[in-house]
Structure 1
Amino acid sequence: MRAIWKGAVTFGLVNVPVKLYSATEGHDVPLHQVHDADGGRIRYRRVCELDGEEVPYEHIDKAYEDGDAKVVITRDDLATLPAERDREIGVVEFVPSDQIDPIMLDKTYYLEPDSKSTKAYVLLRRTLEETERTAIVKFALRQRTRLAALRVRDDVLVLQTLLWADEIREPSFGSLDEPATVTKKELAMSAQLVTSFEADFDPGDYTDEYQVQLRALIDAKIEQGDVIDAEATFGEAAREAGEGGKVIDLMEALRRSVDQAKERRTG
């Protein structure tokens, strides 16, 4: 892994030098766009609308327009901002971990000690573990001030950026205002269904089936010289997965689900 940022976690007078690494990576099969008539690659170019010339990335600045005026912001302008120059991950407060709503979680990063001595790093890690708290921090990354949760995962400090409060939409669904009656029998049957599916979560048990099927399709097209009937290969499985009439009786649907879950467990 390659560090994408270096700085220090600070709380009080304690300074913990760290390196920041992306904790996740995508696994999607890489695809690009082509012309359906001849297979030619479709590319996007940065073209100036005034002179029609393609512009190299190093000559592209940013601008803000409000309808009346346009202000150009250069890289040098951005570099002068105090937050952009700041290399600290400052602890704002320590909060109970259960107070962080999962809807706020964004990207995840690992923090590695960036010092010959790991004592300060271990001190912070042990403090979070023993107090059962999560540190709320603020730092600057890629021209944005970030709010983040700092916690421990398998002896490593993990930084999870948080969405700002005004980035969370309020749900407003008129359909939920309509009263719906759920009977005790339906609730009991639903609880029984939940019980039949109970398990300890292991993310390794799950596979991205779409990507697996996409890779199989690509391999088949290569093997068959780019000639394959995709509908015949994958269509039948898709139709079987989508079969089933419209269920009107909720209790009957629950009973069937419980029976299927039992068969799955004993089969």
Structure 2
Amino acid sequence: MRSIWNGSISFGLVSIPVKLYSGSEDRRIDLDMLDKNDHARIRYKRVNEDTGKEVEWKDIVKGYKKDDGYVILEKEDFDQANMKKTKTIDIEEFIDEDEVADVLFKKPYFLEPQKEGGKSYNLLLQALKKTGKLGVATFVMRQKEHLSLVGIYRDALVLHVIRFEDEIRNPGELKLTKTKVKAKEVDMAVSLIEQYTSDFDFKKYKDIYNDQLMKIIESKATGKKPKVEEYDSEPTQADDLMAKLKASLEKKKSKAS
């Protein structure tokens, strides 16, 4: 793995030099965009809108529109906007793990100690493990400030980038129904949930979509018609809820026996 950020993580007056690594990877199949007429690849070009000529990456800068012109920003300007947050993951408080809503989570990153940071790294790791707490921290990466949570995953410190409050849309804008549900239906649904409740096994869940998509690609490459699995997505009608719940419970019981 290649580190994507170098700096330090701090809590109180303790500073731990660390490297940041992406803790996940994109497993989507790499597909090219083609012209449907001759299957030639479609390419994007960075073009000067005044001259129409292509511009090389080395000649591209970032600018902020102000009045009739632009204020050009260099790499140093982004770093200097907040030097501390550019170089430090600063833990500002600690919270209980169950206080955080899942909707806030974005992406995990692994933290690795740099030279001289081993003991202080293990100190934070053991303290978090003993208390069951998460550290709330802010830092800047790729010209953007991030809110994050520092915790543990498989005996390594992991940093979860989470969303700021103003990044979460208001669900009050959704058109939600207020249809009444019978108490018996709720009890039946609770029973179904309890039947399906088990200890979470991370290894049990696999991303099979890419594998299935590759089978379709390979089938089409040989001129064969890919097999399509039929799926009934008909919504359950309100007056059919109890029957469906009972059938689901019976199905689960028969599988367990």
Instruction: Provide the TM-score with structure 1 as the length reference.
Output: 0.87
The aligned runs of 1:141-156 (5 Å cut-off) are 141-156=141-156
Percent identity of the aligned residues? 33
Instruction: State whether structure 2 residue 120 is matched by structure 1 residue 120.
Output: yes
Which SS does the other structure have where 1:112 is aligned? strand
> C-alpha separation between the residues in 2 aligned to 1:159 and 1:138?
11
User: 4+ residue stretches of structure 1 with deviation over 6 A?
Assistant: none
Which SS does the other structure have where 2:172 is aligned? coil
State the Cα distance separating 1:56 from its structure 2 match. Answer: 0.8
Which amino acid in the other structure matches residue 75 of structure 1? E
Which SS does the other structure have where 1:194 is aligned? helix
State the Cα distance separating 1:114 from its structure 2 match. Answer: 0.4
Segment drifting more, 246-255 vs 154-163: 246-255
> C-alpha separation between the residues in 1 aligned to 2:207 and 2:101?
26
Which amino acid in the other structure matches residue 27 of structure 1? R
The aligned runs of 1:44-63 (5 Å cut-off) are 44-63=44-63
The aligned runs of 1:169-248 (5 Å cut-off) are 169-173=169-173, 175-176=175-176, 179-222=178-221, 224=222, 227-230=223-226, 233-234=227-228, 237=229, 239=230, 241-242=231-232, 247=237, 248=239
State the Cα distance separating 1:77 from its structure 2 match. Answer: 5.7
> C-alpha separation between the residues in 1 aligned to 2:199 and 2:95?
27
Say if 2:64 and 2:73, in contact at 8 Å, map to a contact too. no
CA RMSD of aligned residues (A): 2.2
State the Cα distance separating 1:89 from its structure 2 match. Answer: 1.2
Say if 1:89 and 1:138, in contact at 8 Å, map to a contact too. yes
Structure-2 residue corresponding to 1:257: 248
State the Cα distance separating 1:83 from its structure 2 match. Answer: 2.2
> C-alpha separation between the residues in 1 aligned to 2:160 and 2:95?
14
> C-alpha separation between the residues in 2 aligned to 1:117 and 1:14?
10
Say if 1:78 and 1:143, in contact at 8 Å, map to a contact too. no
> C-alpha separation between the residues in 2 aligned to 1:142 and 1:229?
45
Question: Given the superposition, is the C-alpha separation of residues 265 and 84 from structure 1 closer, same or farther in structure 2, using an over 3 Å criterion?
Answer: farther
Equivalent pairs counted in the alignment come to 255
Which amino acid in the other structure matches residue 225 of structure 2? D
Where do 5+ consecutive residues of structure 2 fail to align? none
State the Cα distance separating 1:60 from its structure 2 match. Answer: 1.3
Say if 1:110 and 1:158, in contact at 8 Å, map to a contact too. yes
Segment drifting more, 117-126 vs 16-25: 117-126
Which amino acid in the other structure matches residue 229 of structure 1? K
The aligned runs of 1:63-82 (5 Å cut-off) are 63-65=63-65, 68-76=67-75, 78-79=77-78, 81-82=80-81
Where do 5+ consecutive residues of structure 1 fail to align? none
Instruction: Provide the TM-score with structure 2 as the length reference.
Output: 0.90
Say if 1:83 and 1:145, in contact at 8 Å, map to a contact too. no
Structure-1 residue corresponding to 2:13: 13
Structure-1 residue corresponding to 2:159: 159
